[in-house]
Structure 1
Amino acid sequence: MRPPSYKAVVDEFAATIRSGCLSPGTRLPTHRQLAAQRRIALGTATRVYAELAAMGLVLGEPGRGTFVREQAGFDGLEPSRNLPVRRTADLSFAQPLADEQPDQLRHALRELANSGDIGSLLRQQPPGGRQHERAVVATHLLDRGIDTAPAGVLLTNGAQHALDTVLRVVARPGDVVAADALTYPGLRLLAAAHHLELAPVAGGAAGPDLDALDRLCRARRVRVLYTIPTLHNPLGWVLDRATRERMADLAREHDVTIVEDGTYGFLDSSAPPPLQTFAPQRTCYVSGLSKSLASGVRLGFAVVPEPLAKACAASLRASTWGLPALVSALATGWIADGTLTRLEKRRRDDARARQIVARTALADLDVTAHPASYFSWLRLEPHLRRDRVAAALAQEGILVSTADAFATDGNPPQALRLALSEPPLEDLPAVLTRLRAVLEAFPL
């Protein structure tokens, strides 16, 4: 079977771009110009550019045109982390770690070695975790405003695994999942893996446009609403109580299951209660300890309504069978003895200190950030393109995340997310000053 004729145009552009004959930043013909030049329909020309964008070769900028994309590989949903020079700072991934934590790990391992039944750690755990460890997490969640029995808590291999488990149960291939136009990249990966359609919901500085969500739910059969109400990733908003209440009302009105991501919620202890408390029978709350404890401690959890618990446990059995007993014992031990509470307090103080540094170093730039957040959202000047800025920063040893990773609507803005937790606090001013210098060095 012959391929569609437009494929020849796609292949021609792809070869020209990859060969370097079309350099990064080259503006391509408009859709109408391409249609006229190649004697193809306007819709076909649009499809050509859509396929090139999906291949990571071009960027479409509303109102400006289509441009050849920087091919260095330091932007996009899964950017390269192999820098061309020695790494100066990783601002692409939030992975806070306190200096004393290695010693805490040594102490905890000694405690486990001296425990009465260390052999139990060699046995298979049930899907969802052992009952006493689920009870520890349920008690911990009381401080988040969530009151649930241990049976309603399922332990997982990190928050991403919790999200994966829940989506497998509440959605089927082809289902529509409403999500913010900019949101957590892990959702996009799971949506692609499970063949779910992400329907973007526009938002502003304070949160999503709930009128737009209402219209979407009236126009489409939305199965799931994914939301990050406290310390949104990447925009940092914290939804007020009235917004949470209305979101819960909309979910009930349109029979939508809410999947609430609470991963960063611990950073703002003054936030309103989780959405789960407003609609407990239709909300699955997912979170983990990667940001509060350590990214290498892969313990996550899902709080699910009772009718979904059995199906979620079966999904866990199908994916991993059970948790690594050593990890769950370590993590729940740190929760039970108060280590996690102390670390969360330290993280909150640390995040606020870093935001103060960022506000000073990035003054007068278009930055959105919550004062308790570990990241900042930097909108670039009109003459700057996110892929070229990311590549230029990589040449300075600085990794960043571009808006491509977070966009669900196919039109990423010219913006970067800066994760502030990895560089030592005393080095952060110099890192951000260097980042600013790279931005200012681009010609107008």
Structure 2
Amino acid sequence: MARARYKKVVDAMAADIRAGKIAPGTRLPTHRELAAREGLALVTASRVYAELSDMGLVSGETGRGMFVRESTLTSRDDIVRRVFADDVVDLNFNYPSLPEQAGLLRNALRALASSGDLDALLRYQPHGGRMHERASAALYLEDRGVGVPADRVLLVSGAQHGLAVAALALLQPGDVVAVDALTYPGFKVLAQSLRLELAPLPAAIDGPDLDALDRLCATRRVRAIYVMPTLHNPLGWVSPERSRLRLVEIAREHGLVILEDASYAYLVEHAPEPLAVLAPESTVYVSGLSKSVATGLRVGFVVTPTQFIETFERVIRATTWNTPALMTAIATGWINDGTVARLEAQKRDDAARRQAVARAVLDGLEFVGHPCSYFLWLPLPGGARADQVASKLMRDNVSVSTAEPFATSKHSPHAIRLALGSVDMDVLQRSVETVKRVIEHYAC
């Protein structure tokens, strides 16, 4: 009988939330108040909230209570569809581009059409890429501070594929991987798919809390650590050399594999040495051209210790057989003729200008970010809730991301991330002004 009553309470509250009878952001009764109101045991009232939380309808905050979540934000697919609607300003995803890029692609295709090697592009390629293209990639990576021979560079279908290849090659279901408490959502999805356990590390000033990592490794069998030391997404930090050396020391002491994601590293000039240089025996370095050139150019680079090369090539074969030859031909041609270097320099300038615009508008609010990155992190002030802010902005046709996709810990902070690289500059300024206005409204 008690079970039937508790289920009825769950169903009734869920129906009221979905119908809008209980508005998003509403503070719900305490567990004890709910138990008294519905005639339930305290433990049964806790089960009510647990089920509503599993349904994505409510969320609890330590010291504040239980709140109704914004239901329009529970479906990631719905957000993606709205983002790509013509009337929505996209501050959620970054796909920075320059006006000349379509013309560059047109010229590159013409050059390929007249090349003598065209037939070769229609055949299977070596799993890690043709050696002359790997050599071009090695030259590109040398400019990023990673000087390795061509046979240690593998070509993959973008940085996300590179991370997947590394995880499939080196990790097993159930392995513990240390990650930042706020990290790249694509790695979270990958870990979930491969049934890896993510162990969140709190943030220090300019990187993960390495004392916490050391304690974690002393108590758990940690297999790897996933890090973005040069331009972290979403927090924008660039870890200093001392932190990198300490991380390498801990990794060596505990036998960790280091997965170094350098997708946004091109935006930082004169960065400290990559972890792949400091610990080449245990670091897998992953980067690509999706952010620095174009999101549709799915060409990535993986630098791996020599002992892992054959394993990685088998995984590339199992997942894509080889990187599409047309893509790699275009990408390496642009590396060789200086196009990639020129585009990256222009995007560094573009990102710095966009940062300056956003920071000027947001003056007076707290934000975290690198002055040359394409994103900003905004912890929300006062009583502002991330789901309320994001929902109101979506109704105003501005799409932003809350902390939830980035959070690896149990509770997501109330914060939003602004992606600055996907809209025209005048639209960016107006949209960030809208963001500030909405935040200030809910912070009152």
**TM tier relative to shorter chain:** over 0.9
* Whole-Å separation in 2 of the counterparts to 1:131 and 1:40: 68
* Whole-Å separation in 1 of the counterparts to 2:281 and 2:259: 12
1:264 is aligned to 264
| Greater mean alpha carbon deviation, residues 432-441 or residues 359-368 | 432-441
- The alpha-carbon distance between structure 1 residues 80 and 292, as it changes in their structure 2 partners (threshold 3 A), is closer
1:207 is aligned to 207
Which structure has more helix as a fraction of its residues?
Answer: 2
Q: Are the equivalent residues in 2 in contact too, given 1:144–1:273 (CA < 8 A)?
A: no
Alignment of 1:376-415 (within 5 A): 376-415=376-415
Q: Are the equivalent residues in 2 in contact too, given 1:166–1:312 (CA < 8 A)?
A: yes
* Whole-Å separation in 2 of the counterparts to 1:381 and 1:182: 19
* Whole-Å separation in 2 of the counterparts to 1:117 and 1:72: 51
**Structure 1 residue 88: deviation in Å?**
4.4
- The alpha-carbon distance between structure 1 residues 4 and 141, as it changes in their structure 2 partners (threshold 3 A), is farther
2:181 is aligned to 181
- The alpha-carbon distance between structure 1 residues 9 and 289, as it changes in their structure 2 partners (threshold 3 A), is farther
Q: SS of the counterpart of 2:179? A: strand
2:222 is aligned to 222
Q: SS of the counterpart of 2:87? A: coil
- The alpha-carbon distance between structure 1 residues 7 and 285, as it changes in their structure 2 partners (threshold 3 A), is farther
- The alpha-carbon distance between structure 1 residues 325 and 4, as it changes in their structure 2 partners (threshold 3 A), is farther
Deviations 1:166-186 (A, max 9, x none): 011221111111000000000
1:343 is aligned to 343
**Structure 1 residue 211: deviation in Å?**
0.5
* Whole-Å separation in 2 of the counterparts to 1:195 and 1:136: 35
Q: SS of the counterpart of 2:169? A: helix
Q: Are the equivalent residues in 1 in contact too, given 2:26–2:67 (CA < 8 A)?
A: yes
Q: SS of the counterpart of 1:17? A: helix
Q: Are the equivalent residues in 2 in contact too, given 1:77–1:406 (CA < 8 A)?
A: no
1:152 is aligned to 152
1:301 is aligned to 301
Q: Are the equivalent residues in 1 in contact too, given 2:30–2:66 (CA < 8 A)?
A: yes
| Greater mean alpha carbon deviation, residues 82-91 or residues 352-361 | 82-91
- The alpha-carbon distance between structure 1 residues 434 and 110, as it changes in their structure 2 partners (threshold 3 A), is same
**Structure 1 residue 155: deviation in Å?**
1.1
| Greater mean alpha carbon deviation, residues 146-155 or residues 256-265 | 146-155
* Whole-Å separation in 1 of the counterparts to 2:9 and 2:314: 47
Amino acid aligned to 1:106 = R
1:112 is aligned to 112
| Greater mean alpha carbon deviation, residues 213-222 or residues 6-15 | 6-15
Amino acid aligned to 1:120 = A
Say how many residue pairs are matched: 441
- The alpha-carbon distance between structure 1 residues 122 and 74, as it changes in their structure 2 partners (threshold 3 A), is same
1:320 is aligned to 320
The two structures have a TM-score, normalised by structure 1, of: 0.93
* Whole-Å separation in 1 of the counterparts to 2:125 and 2:6: 54
Deviations 1:144-173 (A, max 9, x none): 111212221111111111001101122111
Deviations 1:38-88 (A, max 9, x none): 64564x655654453343212222221111111123786983432698524
Matched, 1:135 2:107: no
* Whole-Å separation in 1 of the counterparts to 2:4 and 2:329: 56
Q: Structure 1: give runs of 5+ residues left out of the alignment.
A: none
Amino acid aligned to 1:253 = E
Q: SS of the counterpart of 2:367? A: strand
Q: Are the equivalent residues in 2 in contact too, given 1:90–1:398 (CA < 8 A)?
A: yes
**Structure 1 residue 204: deviation in Å?**
2.9
* Whole-Å separation in 1 of the counterparts to 2:276 and 2:35: 50
**Structure 1 residue 14: deviation in Å?**
3.2
* Whole-Å separation in 2 of the counterparts to 1:213 and 1:77: 34
Amino acid aligned to 1:267 = L
Amino acid aligned to 1:404 = E
Deviations 1:97-128 (A, max 9, x none): 00111111111111101101211111112222
Greater RCO (CA < 8 Å, at least 6 residues apart) = 1
**Structure 1 residue 294: deviation in Å?**
0.4
Amino acid aligned to 2:251 = A
Amino acid aligned to 1:55 = M
- The alpha-carbon distance between structure 1 residues 380 and 443, as it changes in their structure 2 partners (threshold 3 A), is closer
Q: Are the equivalent residues in 2 in contact too, given 1:73–1:80 (CA < 8 A)?
A: no
Q: SS of the counterpart of 1:138? A: helix
* Whole-Å separation in 1 of the counterparts to 2:382 and 2:170: 41
Q: Are the equivalent residues in 2 in contact too, given 1:284–1:302 (CA < 8 A)?
A: yes
Alignment of 1:22-37 (within 5 A): 22-34=22-34
- The alpha-carbon distance between structure 1 residues 40 and 299, as it changes in their structure 2 partners (threshold 3 A), is farther
1:286 is aligned to 286
- The alpha-carbon distance between structure 1 residues 410 and 246, as it changes in their structure 2 partners (threshold 3 A), is same
Q: SS of the counterpart of 2:284? A: strand
* Whole-Å separation in 2 of the counterparts to 1:171 and 1:379: 34
* Whole-Å separation in 1 of the counterparts to 2:251 and 2:45: 39
Amino acid aligned to 1:424 = D
- The alpha-carbon distance between structure 1 residues 148 and 10, as it changes in their structure 2 partners (threshold 3 A), is farther
Amino acid aligned to 1:179 = V
* Whole-Å separation in 2 of the counterparts to 1:278 and 1:10: 54
- The alpha-carbon distance between structure 1 residues 75 and 375, as it changes in their structure 2 partners (threshold 3 A), is farther
- The alpha-carbon distance between structure 1 residues 11 and 217, as it changes in their structure 2 partners (threshold 3 A), is farther
* Whole-Å separation in 2 of the counterparts to 1:90 and 1:356: 18
- The alpha-carbon distance between structure 1 residues 199 and 9, as it changes in their structure 2 partners (threshold 3 A), is farther
Amino acid aligned to 1:347 = K
CA RMSD of aligned residues (A): 2.3
* Whole-Å separation in 1 of the counterparts to 2:80 and 2:50: 23
2:231 is aligned to 231
Matched, 1:330 2:330: yes
Q: Are the equivalent residues in 2 in contact too, given 1:84–1:394 (CA < 8 A)?
A: no
* Whole-Å separation in 2 of the counterparts to 1:219 and 1:10: 38
* Whole-Å separation in 2 of the counterparts to 1:240 and 1:78: 39
**Structure 1 residue 35: deviation in Å?**
5.7
1:357 is aligned to 357
Q: Are the equivalent residues in 1 in contact too, given 2:83–2:90 (CA < 8 A)?
A: no
Among the aligned pairs, what percent are the same residue?
51
Q: Are the equivalent residues in 1 in contact too, given 2:381–2:443 (CA < 8 A)?
A: no
1:437 is aligned to 437
* Whole-Å separation in 2 of the counterparts to 1:84 and 1:140: 33
Amino acid aligned to 1:100 = E
